């Protein structure tokens, strides 16, 4: 492992793999709504591999957010990913 290792390591909530923070996408779940992390509230990370595996990531989201709103997560996730790739 590199000695100058100061990039924060975070865990993907879906596959539980650890990676450097800048390679994971950070989300927030506030007031029953999923979004890209905007600087406040509780947040969690999802890796790029999992973001491409819809079923898997939605399962993880439902567990993480303690919500059974599968369809809501599915459509919201699509919006977020599309926005993210544009910027
Ligand atoms: Zn993952």
Question: 26 C-alpha to center of ligand 1: Å?
Answer: 12
The reply to whether 1 falls in a domain is no
Question: 24 C-alpha to center of ligand 1: Å?
Answer: 8
Question: 19 C-alpha to center of ligand 1: Å?
Answer: 9
Work out the number of other CB atoms within 10 angstroms of the CB of residue 29. 19
Per-residue pLDDT of the chain (87 residues; tens, 9 = 90+): 556 668 899 999 999 999 999 999 999 999 899 999 998 878 999 999 999 999 999 999 999 999 999 999 999 999 998 877 776
Q: What is the pTM of this model?
A: 0.84
Number of structural domains (the chain) is 1
The reply to whether 2 falls in a domain is no
The reply to whether 3 falls in a domain is no
Residue 77's CATH number:
3.30.1230.10
The reply to whether 36 falls in a domain is yes
The reply to whether 4 falls in a domain is no
DSSP secondary structure of 23-70 = GEEEEEEETTEEEE--SSS-EEEEEHHHHT-HHHHHHHHHHHHT---H
Q: Which residue in the block uniquely carries the two structure tokens 């007031």?
A: 31
Q: Write out the residue range of the structural domain in which residue 81 sits.
A: 9-86
Question: 49 C-alpha to center of ligand 1: Å?
Answer: 6
């Amino acid at each position: 492992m590199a000695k100058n290792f100061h990039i924060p390591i975070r865990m993907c909530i879906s596959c539980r793999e650890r990676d450097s923070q800048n390679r994971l996408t950070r989300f927030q779940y506030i007031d029953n709504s999923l979004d890209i992390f905007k600087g406040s509230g509780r947040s969690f990370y999802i890796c790029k591999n999992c973001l491409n595996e819809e079923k898997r990531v939605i399962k993880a989201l439902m567990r993480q957010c303690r919500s059974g709103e599968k369809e809501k997560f599915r459509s919201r996730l699509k919006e977020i990913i599309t926005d993210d790739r544009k910027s």
